[in-house]
Amino acid sequence: MTTNYIASVPKIKGRENYDEWSFAADNLLVLEGMDIYIKPTPNFEVKPVDDAKTKAKLVLTIDPSLYVHVKNTKSSAELWTTLKTMCSVFKP
């Protein structure tokens, strides 16, 4: 089931398609019940296995040229924030 949804998410290449990617990736995680891992609430208890799965799903939607920027992130929220920061810094 997930594979079909992941194929529908455009791979993020950078600022040129960040908005489209973030919208699609966020909705993919909503469908999977994993969006809380990229937007945690203060009292949310992170389950390491589910966070790792969320991060892996996101990595599958990233162009390999961007791996260097996210490969050392420790959580899906950190990966999400890193991409958001990286792409918004360079927006005109």
Q: What is the pLDDT of residue 44?
A: 92
CA dist list (Å): 77 to 1, 4, 16, 92 = 23, 23, 21, 25
- 3-class SS at 62? strand
Q: How confident is the model at residue 3, as a pLDDT?
A: 53
Q: Does position 54 have pLDDT exceeding 90, yes or no? A: yes
Q: Say how many C-beta atoms besides its own lie within 10 A of residue 65's C-beta.
A: 11
pLDDT, residue 89, reads 62
Q: Which domain holds residue 51?
A: 2-89
15 neighbors 84 (Cβ within 8 angstroms):
no
Question: Closest Cα partner for 56 from 34, 31, 36, 39?
Answer: 34
Q: What total of structural domains would you count in the chain?
A: 1
pLDDT of residue 92: 53
1-53 pLDDT per residue, tens: 445 789 899 999 999 999 999 999 999 999 999 999 999 889 999 999 999 99
